[in-house]
RNA sequence: GGAGUGGUGGCCGAGCUAGGCCGAAGGCGCUCGCCUGCUAAGCGAGUAUACGGCAUUAAACCGUAUCGAGGGUUCAAAUCCCUCCCACUCCGCCA
């Protein structure tokens, strides 16, 4: 959520940056509502003040045995007016709230302007795509030959886009999770394991609601949602809190299963592990003082890249343009890993700073050392990494001609020293 | 799921069946100052947030709101009534 005061003071910027995203918003309407709100509140506060004063007098007069009927009646009428005004105020505020919740974050100045993903910018490339002496197979073929992923049975017990990991598939997935958590922990990220089901407040806090309800699995009778990313539960652990400046930055790494309805992606990536309704992910989440968020984003990105470098998987980093960046984000880097079978890079991580956008929604604040000033913190998060897609990348990049898959050196300690996965 | 108890400021905890003098006693913690040959103790002061008035910012000041949330009664509610949410205890069930 953006600060209404900021919007009013910086209308031109807000309008331009919202347009850069390709988003529509009725700024005039919002500001008119705010002006109306201010006027009415000032008026009503005066009425309330009057009532409070008179009410105290009534108490005194009555104690002295004086007559209060006339003044009482006057206050009753004033009370009706106050109630009526309060109702109008509540309506205006609800309308403003609704508008603000649907207004995306402002992208940072350095974010390239562009209309969609075709205008994202490659900002870094690491490693060389491996040359194969044979035709590299797609991960679903590799996995089925090795009997480590069972797509049909996964579908049988749930529906399409659900997969069962079998034997070494399950072990490899678990090895990746542990490897990533351990690696991040060494860099100062504190591990957390948080709820997979969260309430609507949490979803609103990080920006999934109200706008992206169709993307979420919902447990209707309990009013709970399955998290699409650990970002939701971990960030909201601090909602409503005022954190001491000395405790920042907070850095967390968190494993979770993630659940996404993938509404509107019919027919896209229907085969294999790339786009699942349920997938595993290790997420990095940070809460920082505003002045530190930029440096922390760079560090976050490097932590995510570090996983791929350690696994020796070729990747590139994309700076998302204004038209492709996420709703709550102010700046996002996507990391894309090389997939030989597709002969292209595929997204495996998304690292963002949300500036104070989520913090304002979730009310995450910090108190400065001087003890007086309270302000909104900055939140950041990034995948470090998506486990399923990492498994895909490992299978494809480390595949051998005989159908076996070499285990990346960094993962061997997590698989009892195993060097090759064979059928 | 059944029965019961309870939700007050960073924490603990008064006040809630006599509704006004309660944004709320007291204690702890914390901050600043004083004092003390160290540590501890002692003394003094301060210690919520949001919105509005505020003129261009900030401070100060004033007003309003907030005692789990929402609604109601009343001139006036932490205090009375209703609904909901949450926590804890016991029973049942269960990894």
What are A81-96's pLDDT values in tens digits? Answer: 999 999 999 999 999 9
Rounded Cα gap, residues A293 and A319, in angstroms:
17
Q: What is the rounded distance in angstroms from the CA atom of residue A133 to the CA atom of residue A345?
A: 20
Whether the CB of A81 is less than 7 Å away from nucleic strand B comes out as: no
Does residue A244 lie within 7 Å of nucleic acid chain B, judged by its CB? no
pLDDT digits over A131-151, tens only? 999 999 999 999 999 999 999
Summarize pLDDT for A171-183 with one digit per residue, the tens: 999 999 999 999 9
Q: Find the nucleotide nearest A80 (Cα to C1′).
A: B75
* Three-class DSSP category at A242: strand
List, for residues A353-371, the tens digit of each pLDDT value.
Answer: 999 999 999 999 988 877 6
By C-alpha distance, which of A362, A106, A143, A80 is closest to A272? A143
The reply to whether the CB atom of residue A5 sits less than 7 A from any atom in nucleic acid chain B is yes
Catalytic: A389? yes
Lookup: tokens for A317: 């980093």
Strand B close to A62 by CB, under 7 A: yes
Q: What is the pLDDT of residues A199-211, one digit of tens each?
A: 999 999 999 998 9
Query: What confidence category does residue A306 fall into, taking pLDDT thresholds of 50, 70 and 90?
Result: very high
Burial class (CB in 10 A: 0-12, 13-18, 19+), A253: buried
CB A342 within 8 A of CB A137: no
Q: How do residues A112-121 score in pLDDT, each as one tens digit?
A: 999 999 999 9
User: Is A197's CB less than 7 Å from nucleic acid strand B?
Assistant: no
Active site residue A251: no
Q: Which candidate, A304, A332, A329, places its Cα nearest to that of A320?
A: A332
pLDDT at A292: 93
* Distance, CA of A269 to C1' of B18, in Å: 73
A45 CB inside 7 Å of strand B: yes
A53 touches strand B (CB under 7 A): yes
Structure confidence at residue A277 as a pLDDT band (50, 70, 90): very high
A347 CA from B94 C1′ (Å):
41
Preceding amide of A249 cis, omega within 30: yes
Q: What is the reported pLDDT for A191?
A: 95
- Of A36, A57, A245, A347, the catalytic one is A347
* Spatial separation of the C-alpha atoms in residues A78 and A88, rounded to whole Å: 16
pLDDT of residue A409: 98
Instruction: Give A371 CA → B31 C1' in Å.
Output: 8
**Is the CB of residue A108 less than 8 Å from the CB of residue A380?**
no
Report which secondary-structure segment, H or E, holds A190.
strand A190-192
Can you tell me which residue has its alpha carbon closest to the C1' of nucleotide B65?
A: A45
Q: Is A260 a catalytic residue?
A: yes
Task: Report the share of chain A in percent with pLDDT over 70.
Answer: 100
A124 Cβ contacts chain B strand, under 7 Å: no
Give the pairing type, strands A315-319 and A331-339: antiparallel
Tell me what ipTM this predicted complex has: 0.88
State in Å, rounded, how far the first CA of chain A is from the last one: 52
**Nearest nucleotide from residue A46 CA, by C1' atom:** B63
Segment A305-331 shows an average pLDDT of: 97
pLDDT in tens, A324-333: 999 999 999 9
- Give the pLDDT band of residue A310 (cuts 50, 70, 90): very high
* DSSP result, A286-354: EEE-GGGHHHHHHHHHHHHHHHHHHHT--EEEEEPPTTTS-TT-SEEEEEEEEETTTTEEEEEEEEEE-
pLDDT band at A345 (very low <50, low <70, confident <90, very high): very high
pLDDT attached to residue A371: 67
Average pLDDT, chain A: 94
Q: Is the pTM of this model over 0.90?
A: yes
Q: Tens digit of pLDDT for each residue in A66-77?
A: 888 888 998 999
A160 part of the active site: no
Say if residue A164's pLDDT is above 80.
yes
Catalytic residue among A293, A303, A350, A352: A350
Which of the nucleotides lies closest to A375 (Cα–C1')? B49
Q: Which of A260, A346, A360, A361 is catalytic?
A: A260
Considering the candidates A21, A251, A360, A389, report the single residue annotated as catalytic: A389
Confidence of residue A16 (pLDDT cuts 50, 70, 90): very high
Nucleotides of B under 7 A from a protein CB: 20-21, 30-31, 48-53, 63-65, 71-72, 74-76
Of A15, A51, A261, A275, the active-site residue reads A275
Tell me how far apart the alpha carbons of residues A178 and A127 are, in angstroms, rounded to a whole number: 24
The whole-number Å distance from A184's CA to B27's C1' is 43
Q: Is A152 a catalytic residue?
A: no
Q: Is the CB of A79 under 7 A from strand B?
A: yes
pLDDT band at A80 (very low <50, low <70, confident <90, very high): very high
């Amino acid at each position: 959520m953006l600060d209404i005061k900021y919007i009013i003071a910086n209308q031109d910027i807000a309008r331009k940056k919202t347009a850069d995203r390709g988003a529509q918003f009725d700024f005039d309407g919002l500001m008119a509502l705010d002006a109306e709100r201010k006027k009415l509140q000032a008026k009503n506060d005066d009425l309330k003040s009057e009532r409070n004063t008179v009410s105290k007098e009534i108490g005194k007069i009555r104690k002295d045995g004086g007559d209060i009927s006339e003044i009482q009646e006057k206050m009753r009428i004033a009370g009706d007016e106050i109630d009526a005004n309060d109702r109008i105020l509540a309506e205006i505020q609800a309308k403003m709230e609704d508008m603000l919740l649907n207004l995306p974050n402002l992208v940072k100045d350095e974010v390239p302007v562009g209309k969609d993903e075709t205008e994202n910018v490659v900002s870094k490339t690491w490693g060389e795509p491996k040359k194969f002496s044979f035709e590299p197979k797609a991960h679903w073929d590799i996995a089925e030959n090795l009997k480590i992923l069972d797509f049909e049975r996964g579908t049988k017990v749930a529906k399409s886009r659900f997969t069962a990991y079998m034997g070494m598939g399950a072990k490899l997935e678990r090895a990746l999770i542990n490897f990533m958590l351990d690696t991040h922990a060494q860099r100062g990220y504190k591990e957390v394991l948080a709820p997979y089901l969260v309430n609507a407040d949490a979803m609103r806090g990080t920006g999934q609601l109200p706008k992206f309800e169709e993307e979420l699995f919902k447990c209707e009778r309990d009013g709970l949602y399955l998290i699409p990313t650990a970002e939701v539960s971990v960030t909201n652990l601090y909602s409503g809190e005022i954190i001491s400046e000395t405790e920042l930055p907070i850095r967390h790494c968190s494993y979770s299963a993630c659940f996404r309805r993938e509404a509107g992606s019919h027919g896209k990536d229907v085969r294999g592990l790339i786009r699942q309704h349920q997938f595993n992910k290790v997420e990095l989440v940070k809460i920082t003082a505003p002045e530190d968020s930029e440096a922390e984003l760079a560090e976050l990105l490097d932590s995510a890249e570090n996983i791929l470098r350690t696994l020796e998987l070729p990747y590139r980093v994309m700076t998302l343009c204004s038209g492709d960046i996420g709703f709550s984000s102010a700046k996002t880097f996507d990391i894309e890993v090389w997939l030989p079978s597709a002969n292209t890079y595929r997204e495996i991580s998304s690292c963002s700073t949300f500036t104070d956008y989520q913090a304002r929604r979730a009310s995450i604040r910090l108190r400065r050392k001087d003890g007086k000033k309270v302000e909104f913190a900055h939140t950041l998060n990034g995948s470090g990494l998506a486990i399923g897609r990492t498994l895909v990348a490992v299978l494809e990049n480390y595949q051998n001609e005989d159908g076996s898959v070499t285990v990346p050196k960094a993962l061997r300690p997590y698989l009892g020293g195993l060097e090759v996965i064979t059928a």
